[in-house]
A and B are shown apart, each in its own frame.
Chain A
Amino acid sequence: MDAITIEALSKTFKGKRGRSVEALQGLQLSIPPGEVFGFLGPNGAGKSTTIKILMGLIRATGGQASIMGIPVSSHTARRNVGYLPENPSFYDYLTAEEYLNFTGKMFGMTGPMLHERSQAMLHRLDLWEARQRPIRTYSKGMTQRLGLAQALLHDPQVYILDEPMSGLDPIGRALVKEIILELKAAGKCVFFSTHITSDAEAICDRVGIILQGRLQCVERVETIMTPDAELSPGDSAQQSLEKFFLEIVRKGSH
Chain B
Amino acid sequence: MKQALSLTLCAAFLLCLLAPVARHMQERPFVQRVGVSPQPAVMRFVTADQKQIFGALEVLKVLIYYGTSLEKAQQHQDIVHDFQGMYPLIKTATRLDPYNMDAYYFAQAILVWDMRRIDEANALLDYGMQYRTWDFYLPFFAGFNHAYFLKDYDKATFYYKRAGELTGSDLFIRLASRYMYEANQTGLAIAYLQTMKAGARNETIKKSFDLRLTAFMAVKRIEDAQAAFLRDLGRPAKTIEEIAQAGYLATPVIDPYGGTFYLDNTGRVRTTSKFAALPSNNAK
CB–CB under 8 A between A and B in the complex? no
B residues with a Cβ closer than 8 A to A are none
A residues with a Cβ closer than 8 A to B are none
